Amino acid sequence: MGSNTSLAGRTAVVTGAGAGLGRCEALALAERGANVVVNDVGSAAEDVVVEIKRLGGEAVAVTGDVGDWSMGDRLVQAAVDTFGGLDIVVNNAGVLRDKMLFNLAESDWDDVVRVHLRGHAGVSRAAAAYWRAASKAAGGPVYGRVVNTSSEAFLFGSAGQPNYAAAKAGIVALTLSTAQGLARYGVRANAICPRARTGMTAGVFAEGRAAGGLDILAPERVATFVSYLASPASEKINGQVFVVYGDMVALMAAPVVERKFTAESGAFSVEELDAQLTPHFQDRGPYRTYAAYSVAELDTTGTQNPAAQG
């Protein structure tokens, strides 16, 4: 294992790590040498700790809901108390309450935004405070990696997931802010939009062909990339968004300005807006919106293109 990709001596927090993608991420980080704080709402976190220890790694379980703001401090404290520090945060925990907008209940909105967006923010805040203090104590940058979990649902604006898509868009903005605000302390923050066949996505994907004995949508494929982003090798990668599944990692470009409309007299009238904008949109196709539908063209897995779960 190259020193540039080794996680030996590092400590990671992984939320939602009792099953599915989070479990695979925790195991992958441990396999690379990291100590892991395994978080989930139930006893499955303890089961993953047993798995990691059986493989020769070190781990501790912290049970609780990341939607509770105090959980961030608990997770950071567990990392420091058990392993002497914190180097990596993988924000993965989430829930689904899929509904069309007209059927969306207040609780459907609150549950999803609380666990996904608030959960990411609370854990990131606690880690940020730790790394800032550590950097000040060290008199320079320290080691910090944040991997946040967004989704293609944010890129597409999935019709049946207004709550989930909004939370995942918020996570990307949070990631950019984290990257900007913590870079000076040595922290790198990036977001992934993964697809993986897990319990949460059961029934979403068609069966995938095996490649090298591994399901094309195996969560282990995503976990491998998370291990890379958690490593010293990713030092130059910050504030980026990646779509990750199957045999590929796709780097998303930042939004660009399509067209600038300028008022001839210095201030628009409604009539001039009509004259300039209406012709521009006259023959525009229904899918040519701010949504990144072209991302669907990446899919060569042979499975159905879902609303994209991450």
Q: Please give the positions annotated as active site.
A: 151, 164, 168
Question: In a 10 Å sphere around its CB, with 0-12 CB exposed, 13-18 middle and 19+ buried, how is residue 153 labelled?
Answer: buried
User: Whole-angstrom Cα distance, residue 89 to residue 145?
Assistant: 6
Sequence-ordered list of residues with C-beta below 8 angstroms from that of 71, at least 6 positions apart, any chain: 39, 62, 64, 65, 119, 122, 123
User: Whole-angstrom Cα distance, residue 158 to residue 150?
Assistant: 13
Q: Determine how many CB atoms are found less than 10 A away from the CB of residue 78.
A: 19
Estimate the crossing angle of helix 70-83 against helix 119-138, to 10 degrees: 50
Q: 34 forms bridges with which residues in the sheet?
A: none
